[in-house]
């Protein structure tokens, strides 16, 4: 048995040690305190043993490593918060030491006097890639499965284990900055082209090739520790540096609007680090890392985009008692825009699909969507013709309902019309086996109403996808009045099988996502009516951190759809439920000007033929007298857009439509891209502080209307000084139906 829990160490006859990282009871290697302790002992042992010439480090798993265990980082931060209250200076010093532990351990490895080679056999992320960068050689398996990245910025932190110092000393600084500020993955070839790896070899030859580097006399001194080392992109103060840095700062500003302090810290760390000797550079990085770890953005993003996301993906709120359901075959009713996309993601996940529409031509067209998506992948070299055939062979395009007799589940995506839905529910249930689950993808019709058409309302549920289905990672799982735990568990197993993140939502008009996002678009309509220049509205949204402006988003979903929703709302809830000025705006766009959105090339934007870009429709400015832009408070526009959505989310929590803050937060980021740096709609309120948030909401209410009225729940939380995560601590499986 190995003396280490997470590593084995075998030294061959030539004196080359093979260190294999293979953590027990984990599907992926990650850095924990124990792993760091063991690695430190191994580094010392290799360094201190005269017979050992050098070491190769590889992984015993399919992937190399996912990097640091961020829950460990969360614990460090929780400890810091506690200590800070007692002794701030001491707490910061401790955090500084914790933040630098990995970095200085990698430095110890690269200055140990023995050559180390990383043999990267699979995905290698974050701290693990930084470990490999500290090795004197890097050999990578030539495989599509191998991805290397420093993705920390995506969760609000940055490469703090030497990444910001080593990457720009190996690669040209422009590529280095791009790689680290976007967190994008590199293929083996791309990494080699950038100068980040030495060799790309066939997977079977990986360890031998790595050992050979050592046997061939690989130096144990890194280039930056050699005398006369020159930076690959030239010094910072040089003509090349003058060409790089000013635009780099401008580009970062353009891309992030200053919302992501970690991205700015990468720039500062690289810039300052390249001006000083390597060890000082590591210290510069450690200081910025300590600062970033204390930012609200890091805490919020780690929680929502890493910890909560993982928990939800693993089915944190799935009813535990129900056995896991496997899907041998699934039916899709309606092969239109959504049904075709749903069939594709299932076939991609390896699930055989029966795709049904009214006639053969319609169902064939739905299947052709999958062929089209595969053709695009083939064009990009990401799939082969054989992959395409295999995927298409999983989709049976038919009009025959009898084909549904052995499916485990049906996803219904026919027209948004109760009569049509009733017809297909009855037709499908006539052949379905008793245990099969019926899931509707309706956007607006309450599941409880649709379940009335079913003979088995317990097996009836909503599974609400977003478009484009192959890109959007979220599904809302909607519970009807009679939906059973069995159906809920099955829907969550289904989401997992097709690699989507499920959130559990109780039946209500618009469910969770559309209720929030509608507020975003409506606030923009109000701004237009007030005479705020349209470009200011769109820019304010982007400055607030939204990926798509509210007018562009309306165009994407169609302005006539907004009109239909308004009309339906009036029918269901009466005239007062809509703002009459907004009705006039939307009616004018659709009925007077025929502007339906992107789909007819005319919406709030004009859509000229490519390569020309869309531009705001000039006629929009003539609809309302325009205000002087200099007299408009941009911060107030940003606040209005985000507050409108966050307040709606708070109302939905009060109404029990969603009950777990993780689901509201993750759902808001994965669906409408709610300013990710905030951690999501509820973390946004928590981050501002409920009392301050309510105070500002009331001010906005007085100035702009009742859409900013804070719900009672929020007012009470403000009075007692609680946050959403304190008031509604995330529930586990046993509390899964708490809100019901």
Backbone angles phi, psi at 602, to 5 degrees: -145, 110
| Cβ-based nearer residue to ligand NAD, 302 or 505 | 505
CB of 340 to ligand NAD, least distance (A): 8
The residue from 423, 426, 572, 719 that contacts ligand NAD (CB under 6 A) is 423
162: closest CA among 203, 140, 130, 124? 130
* Residue 173 host element (H or E): helix 173-182
Neighbours of 93 (CB within 10 A): 13
Residue 336 binds to ligand NAD (criterion: CB under 6 A): yes
Tokens of 357: 């529409």
From the CB of 459, what's the least distance to ligand NAD, in Å? 19
Contact status, residue 305 vs residue 155, Cβ threshold 8 Å: yes
| Spatial distance between the Cα atoms of 51 and 550, rounded to a whole number of angstroms | 66
Contacting residue, 54, 126, 334, 480, with ligand NAD by CB under 6 A: 334
Taking the least distance from each CB to ligand NAD, the nearer of 6 and 557 is 557
In this structure, are residues 179 and 168 in contact, taking their beta carbons and an 8 Å threshold?
no
Binding flag, residue 478, ligand NAD (CB under 6 A):
no
Size of the site for ligand NAD (CB under 6 A): 24
CB 534 within 8 A of CB 528: yes
CA angle in degrees (0–180, nearest 5) for 87-91-97? 155
Nearer to ligand NAD, 334 or 597 (CB): 334
Least distance to ligand NAD from the beta carbon of 430, Å? 13
Q: Which of 424, 524 has the CB closer to ligand NAD? A: 424
Query: In degrees rounded to 5, what are phi and psi of residue 124?
Result: -135, 105
Active site residue 136: no
Decide if residue 232 touches ligand NAD (CB under 6 A). no
Q: Which is nearer to ligand NAD, 63 or 671 (CB)?
A: 671
How far from each other are the two terminal CA atoms of the chain, in whole angstroms?
51
| Nearest to ligand NAD of 411, 487 (CB atom) | 411
Catalytic residue among 136, 198, 369, 464: 464
Work out whether 333 is an interface residue with ligand NAD (CB under 6 A). yes
Residues 6 or more apart in contact with residue 508 via CB below 8 angstroms: 446, 515, 652, 655, 657
Q: What are the DSSP E strand ranges found in 259-405?
A: 330-333, 353-356, 395-398
Dist CA 497 CA 495 (whole Å) = 5
> Which residue number, 307 or 504, has a Cβ lying nearer to ligand NAD?
504
Q: From edge to edge, which strands make up the β-sheet containing 116-120?
A: 7-11, 16-21, 54-59, 116-120, 137-141, 199-201
Q: What angle do CA 15, 19, 22 make, to 5 degrees?
A: 160
Candidates 596, 683, 616; CA nearest to 645 is 683
The one segment of 81-89, 100-108, 217-225, 331-339 that binds ligand NAD by CB under 6 A: 331-339
**Interface with ligand NAD in residues 385-414 (CB under 6 A):** 413-414
Q: Pick one of 22, 311, 416, 556: the residue that binds ligand NAD (CB under 6 A).
A: 416
Residue from 59, 286, 442, 501 binding ligand NAD (CB under 6 A): 442
How many residues are recorded in the chain? Answer: 740
How far does CA 153 lie from the centroid of its chain? 12
Q: Is 424 in the site for ligand NAD (CB under 6 A)?
A: yes
- Least CB distance to ligand NAD at residue 416 (A): 4
Residue 420 Cβ vs ligand NAD, minimum distance, rounded to whole Å: 5
Give me the phi and psi of 59, to 5 degrees please. -120, 150
Cα(489)–Cα(491) distance, rounded to whole angstroms?
A: 5
Write down the least CB distance from residue 293 to ligand NAD, Å. 39
Say if strands 605-606 and 615-616 run parallel, antiparallel, or are unpaired: antiparallel
The residues pairing with 21 across neighbouring beta strands, listed in sequence order, are 7, 59
Asked if 528 and 463 touch (Cβ cutoff 8 Å), the reply is no
Position with the least CB separation from ligand NAD: 336
438 binds ligand NAD (CB under 6 A): no
Candidate ranges 137-145, 263-271, 328-336, 700-708; the one touching ligand NAD (CB under 6 A):
328-336
Please report how the helices 513-530 and 634-654 are oriented relative to each other, as an axis angle in degrees rounded to 10: 150
DSSP label at residue 231:
-
- Interaction between residue 307 and ligand NAD (CB under 6 A): no
Nearer to ligand NAD by Cβ, of 443 and 659: the residue is 443
Contact stretch for ligand NAD (CB under 6 A) within 77-85, 247-255, 330-338, 370-378: 330-338
Site for ligand NAD in 659-678 (CB under 6 A): none
We find the least distance from the C-beta atom of residue 492 to ligand NAD, in angstroms, to be 19
Considering the complex, what minimum distance in angstroms separates the CB of residue 401 from ligand NAD? Answer: 9
Q: What is the CA radius of gyration of the chain?
A: 28
Which residues, listed in sequence order, are joined to residue 149 by a DSSP beta bridge?
125
Tokens (6 digits) for 126: 């974050």
User: Which is closer to ligand NAD, CB of 510 or CB of 735?
Assistant: 510
Is residue 439 involved in binding ligand NAD (CB under 6 A)?
no
Which of 415, 581, 591, 633 contacts ligand NAD by CB under 6 A? 415
Binding residues among 701-720 for ligand NAD as defined by CB under 6 A: none
Alpha carbon distance 25, 42 (integer Å): 21
Q: Does 462 bind ligand NAD (CB under 6 A)?
A: no
Site for ligand NAD in 342-361 (CB under 6 A): 356-358
Per CB under 6 A, 233 contacts ligand NAD: no
Site for ligand NAD in 18-57 (CB under 6 A): none
Instruction: Compute the least distance from the CB of residue 567 to ligand NAD, in Å.
Output: 15
| Complex with ligand NAD: residue 149 or 333, whichever CB lies closer | 333
Spatial contact of 42 and 19, defined as CB atoms under 8 Å apart: yes
Nearest to ligand NAD of 207, 356 (CB atom):
356
15 neighbors 53 (Cβ within 8 angstroms): yes
Does 332 help bind ligand NAD (rule: CB under 6 A)?
A: no
Q: Containing H/E element for 343?
A: helix 337-348
Please state the closest distance from residue 364 (CB atom) to ligand NAD, in A: 11
Q: Compute the least distance from the CB of residue 365 to ligand NAD, in Å.
A: 8
CA–CA dist 464, 475 (Å, integer): 5
Q: Does 422 engage in binding with ligand NAD (CB under 6 A)? A: no
Query: Which residues form the catalytic set?
Result: 464
Instruction: State the residues that interact with ligand NAD by CB under 6 A.
Output: 333-339, 356-358, 362, 413-416, 420, 423-424, 441-443, 464-465, 467
């Amino acid at each position: 048995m190995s003396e280490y829990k997470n590593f084995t160490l075998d030294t061959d006859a030539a004196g080359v040690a093979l260190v294999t990282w293979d953590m027990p009871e984990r599907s992926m290697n990650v850095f924990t305190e124990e792993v760091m302790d063991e690695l430190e002992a191994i580094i010392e042992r290799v360094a201190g043993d005269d017979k050992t010439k050098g070491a190769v480090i590889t992984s015993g798993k399919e992937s190399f490593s996912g990097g640091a265990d961020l829950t460990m980082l969360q614990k460090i931060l929780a400890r810091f918060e506690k200590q800070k209250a007692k002794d701030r200076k001491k707490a910061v010093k401790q955090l500084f030491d914790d933040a630098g532990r990995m970095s200085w351990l990698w430095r110890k490895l690269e200055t140990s006097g023995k050559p180390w080679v990383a043999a990267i056999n699979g995905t290698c992320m974050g701290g693990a890639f930084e470990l490999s960068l500290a090795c004197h050689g890097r050999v990578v398996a030539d495989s599509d499965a191998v991805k290397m990245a420093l993705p920390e910025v995506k969760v609000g932190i940055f490469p703090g284990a030497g990444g910001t110092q080593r990457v720009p000393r190996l690669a040209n600084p422009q590529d280095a900055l791009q790689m680290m500020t976007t967190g994008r993955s590199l293929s083996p070839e791309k990494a080699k082209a950038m100068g980040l790896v030495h060799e790309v070899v066939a997977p079977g030859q990986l360890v031998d090739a790595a050992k050979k580097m050592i046997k061939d006399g690989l130096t144990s001194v890194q280039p930056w520790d050699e005398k006369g080392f020159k930076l690959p992109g030239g010094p910072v103060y040089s003509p090349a540096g003058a060409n790089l840095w000013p635009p780099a700062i401008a580009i970062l500003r353009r891309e992030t609007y200053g919302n992501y302090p970690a991205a700015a810290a990468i720039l500062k760390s690289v810039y300052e680090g390249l001006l000083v000797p390597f060890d000082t550079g590591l210290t510069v990085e450690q200081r910025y890392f300590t600062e970033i770890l204390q930012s609200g953005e890091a805490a919020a993003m780690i929680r929502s985009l890493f910890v909560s996301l993982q928990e939800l993906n693993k089915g944190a709120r799935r009813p535990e008692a129900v056995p896991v359901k496997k899907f041998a075959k699934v039916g899709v009713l309606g092969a239109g825009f959504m049904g075709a996309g749903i069939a594709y993601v299932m076939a991609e996940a390896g699930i055989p699909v029966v795709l049904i529409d009214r006639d053969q031509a319609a169902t064939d067209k739905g299947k052709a969507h999958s062929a089209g998506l595969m053709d695009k992948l083939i064009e990009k070299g990401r799939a082969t013709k054989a992959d395409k055939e295999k995927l298409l062979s999983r989709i049976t395009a038919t009009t025959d309902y009898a084909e549904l007799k052995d499916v485990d589940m049906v996803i219904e995506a026919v027209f948004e019309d109760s009569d049509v839905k009733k017809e297909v529910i009855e037709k499908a249930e006539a052949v379905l086996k008793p245990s099969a689950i019926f899931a509707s993808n309706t956007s607006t019709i309450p599941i409880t109403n649709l379940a009335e058409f079913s003979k088995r309302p317990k097996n009836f549920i909503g599974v609400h996808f977003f478009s484009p289905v192959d890109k959007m990672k979220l599904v809302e799982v909607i519970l009807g009045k009679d939906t059973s735990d069995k159906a809920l568990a099955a829907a969550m197993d289904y989401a997992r099988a097709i690699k989507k993140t499920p959130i559990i939502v109780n039946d209500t008009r618009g469910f969770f996502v559309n209720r929030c996002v509608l507020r975003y678009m409506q606030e923009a309509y109000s701004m237009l009516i007030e005479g705020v220049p349209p470009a200011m509205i769109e820019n304010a949204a982007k400055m607030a951190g939204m990926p798509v402006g509210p007018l562009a988003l309306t165009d994407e979903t169609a302005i006539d759809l907004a009109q239909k929703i308004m009309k339906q709302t009036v029918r269901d809830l009466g005239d007062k439920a809509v703002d009459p000025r907004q009705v006039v705006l939307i009616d004018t766009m659709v009925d007077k000007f025929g502007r339906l959105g992107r789909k007819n090339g005319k919406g709030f934007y004009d859509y000229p033929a490519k390569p020309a870009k869309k531009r705001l429709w000039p006629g929009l400015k003539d609809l309302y007298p325009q205000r002087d832009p200099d007299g408009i408070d941009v911060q107030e526009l940003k606040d209005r857009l985000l507050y409108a959505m966050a307040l709606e989310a708070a109302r939905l929590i009060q109404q029990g439509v969603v009950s777990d803050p993780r689901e509201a937060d993750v759902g808001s980021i994965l669906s409408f891209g709610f300013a990710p740096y905030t951690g999501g709609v509820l973390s946004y309120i928590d981050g501002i502080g409920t009392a301050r948030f309510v105070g500002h909401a009331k001010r906005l209410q007085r100035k702009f209307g009742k859409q900013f009225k804070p719900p009672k729940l929020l007012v009470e939380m403000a009075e007692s000084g609680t946050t959403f995560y304190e008031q509604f601590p995330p529930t586990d499986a046993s509390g899964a139906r708490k809100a019901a």
